Structure 1
């Protein structure tokens, strides 16, 4: 069932017409009473006319900006009205107002397992709006509750598709590939909400953390990984500096080192460059080959 436009006309001319008819009827009735010529038939006509005016006035309704009115005629869908302002339609129509404004909500913190099986806590903010009033009213029982439940279901499904933190830089993860993860989440939610006449404008992760029972262990693992990565960079830099130092010494002919002294120099330089603490220099006052 798709939305279609219902019959309606601007309400202000109808109001003016009803007012004119009511004034004419009451003037006619008052004139008849003054002349004593009012008859029961005339009174009955006036009563019927007033009842008809009240019935026609029932067809007046207001449509706010970014709002739709869903019309039903004896249980059947008759169409929707989105024209803002005072409108008039068939008085037999029953009406239901549906907001077309952009809305958002934040899901609760869900505890799920990521792609590696680690328990994590995750929450998301979803921005959405109704684009088809007929589907929102007739395809689901409560479209607002439907949006919340299906969004949380999609969030669980998405979280299970990625690891919290990938060891491979090329592999997407929840923590490092935010744009890709958010796009995946939006698509997952839109797939579920399309039948409810709802468009998902944006979906973003608002909370992401390891579950409390493994948070400390995962923090230690992250710290160890950071230390290893830092040490790797330090060693790479130190080796490059030692290589450059030996090359410059040989190029300039400052000193001629045999393999044993070269190995000792390399060892000393690596200790100085890679050590956690500052080293204490030892001055050699002997010859090159005597300590």
Structure 2
């Protein structure tokens, strides 16, 4: 049994692509998407074999002479470059120091050695010899042995007394020898430190800094002047003093950069105000100052005001907005009062009103209530 099919031209030729077909079938609804036509003879095959589905993304190109545009490609999100890392070997570590008693003992030994060398050379006065109850000096005079004894005793005394240092609570010493970091001293009391090391004192207490008026912007882009209060401390003394030239100036620059990126809303706003801005500022500044050994606890705007060039305009705008809100609130309360009054009068049967009388009563009550609320108290 065979069937004969005759090929007739499709009725859709000569008709616009977006026009509906005669059977009520709508035309192609999407005009700007690239499509691929499927031949009709592939839909009605005699043998249905296994169908292979490719998991590779299909490439759909625009059809020529149709005016269709290819699908726009999504751009990859822009990732912010990480902050440069400080030398990983530059990290705080405790320095080797001795108790202050060792320095005092070494200094006393040096002074004693100098006195003994002077007695040996016969340079001590007779009164000092008698007071110290020393035997009579042989008076050997200065020679190489006496000079060597003087040098050794003097060096011992200088190292003993010259290395004494006092550690204070809330402070630390950063030690360096010939340009190399040798450790940090956080101990308190009398200590002995190698006198050849360079000592740099740093304050590690909790500190607060109140800035001057800095430039900022509100969520609408209007210029502001903001004063912030920063609570911070030095967490890593080595990175704070050696990883950056001036860690306090670096903190100031980070706060200014954060204010340029975070919008700050003046007092009385409805978008979170200074609390939301303070949280965002704290996160940004803490992230940028962590590599240099600073720990930022909070960055809070304490005074927010518009810049002088826009202050007058924004003041008038805020007054107008406040007046509009007050008028809207008053109008809403008046409408509620009028509705309640008319409803009670009609429900309780005190008055019988038609449409015209009801409108007149509503008008009179509205005027009366508005006049009463508009009078100064």
**What TM-score bracket applies, with the shorter chain setting the length?**
0.7 to 0.9
Partner of 1:204: 300
Give, in angstroms, the shift of residue 46 of structure 1.
3.1
Quick one: structure 1 residues 119 and 28, their matched pair in 2 at CA, closer, same or farther if it must change by over 3 Å? closer
Q: 1:93 aligns with which of 191, 197, 213?
A: 197
How far off its partner does 1:253 sit? 1.7
Q: d(CA) in 1 for partners of 2:165 and 2:212?
A: 38
5 Å matches for 1:17-96? 17-20=106-109, 22-23=111-112, 26-27=115-116, 29-30=118-119, 33=122, 34-36=136-138, 38=140, 40=143, 42-47=145-150, 48-96=152-200
TM-score w.r.t. length of structure 1: 0.83
Report the CA distance shift for 1:24/1:58 in structure 2 as closer, same or farther (over 3 A): closer
- Pick the aligned partner of 1:9 from 83, 93, 98: 98
In structure 2, the partner of 1:266 is: 362
**In 2: Cα distance, 1:86 partner to 1:215 partner:** 57
Q: Which moved more, 1:112-121 or 1:238-247?
A: 112-121
1:115-153 CA-partner distances (Å, limit 9, x unpaired): 322222222122222111100111101112212222222
Q: Which runs of 5+ in 2 are unaligned?
A: 1-89, 123-135
TM-score computed with the length of structure 2 as normaliser? 0.65
Which position in structure 1 is the counterpart of 2:284? 188
Answer yes or no: is 1:235 the counterpart of 2:331.
Answer: yes
**SS where residue 35 of structure 1 aligns?**
coil
Give ranges in structure 1 of 5+ residues lacking alignment. 279-291
Higher percent of residues as strand: 1
How much has 1:241 moved relative to structure 2?
1.2
User: d(CA) in 1 for partners of 2:230 and 2:98?
Assistant: 36
C-alpha distance in structure 2 between counterparts of 1:125 and 1:262, whole Å: 61
What pairs with 1:89-238 in structure 2 (closer than 5 Å)?
A: 89-159=193-263, 162=264, 164=266, 169=270, 171-172=271-272, 177-238=273-334
Higher relative contact order, structure no. (Cα contacts within 8 Å, ≥ 6 residues apart): 1
Instruction: State how far apart, in whole Å, the 2-side matches of 1:241 and 1:61 are.
Output: 81
How far 1:28 moved relative to its partner? 6.8
Answer yes or no: is the 8 Å Cα contact 2:106–2:160 preserved in 1: no
Mean Cα displacement is larger for which, 24-33 or 80-89? 24-33
Count of equivalent residues: 270
Counterpart of 2:47 in structure 1 is none
| Contact residue 66 and residue 101 of structure 1 kept, 8 A | yes
